[in-house]
Amino acid sequence: DIQMTQSPSSLSASVGDRVTITCRSSQSIISYLNWYQQKPGKAPKLLIYAASNLQSGVPSRFSGSGSGTDFTLTISSLQPEDLATYYCEQSYSTPWTFGQGTKVEIK
């Protein structure tokens, strides 16, 4: 299985801050990398697919980049509603695998 490692595991930032979450895969996954947002008690929501493509309806303050083994999710200006846990997922080969999650808190 391809292992996905996210960092940090948690962060606290102020409204308006730029937030960056990184995800590293144990082997190259080209650009088969997705990002999900999961708010407390809710199902995950797709934010970014294929590393850098913004899912329809997702605010433009979210962006993704990277290829190969190293990927980044950026929130350009953190909003109160961005309180959530964020997961990366590789869909290069089955079993698709998720990172352990990054919990984002608002200061």
State the residues that interact with another protein by CB under 8 A: 1, 32, 34, 36, 38, 43-46, 49-50, 53, 55, 87, 89, 91, 94-101
Cβ closest to another protein, residue 12 vs residue 93: 93
Residues 67, 40, 46, 100, CA torsion sign = positive
Cβ closest to another protein, residue 20 vs residue 91: 91
Dist. CA 73–CA 70, nearest whole Å? 11
Q: Nearest approach, Cβ of 28 to another protein (angstroms)? A: 15
Q: Nearest approach, Cβ of 15 to another protein (angstroms)? A: 26
Cβ closest to another protein, residue 17 vs residue 22: 22
Dist. CA 32–CA 52, nearest whole Å? 10
The SS3 of residue 12 is strand
Six-digit token string for 58 = 């997702």
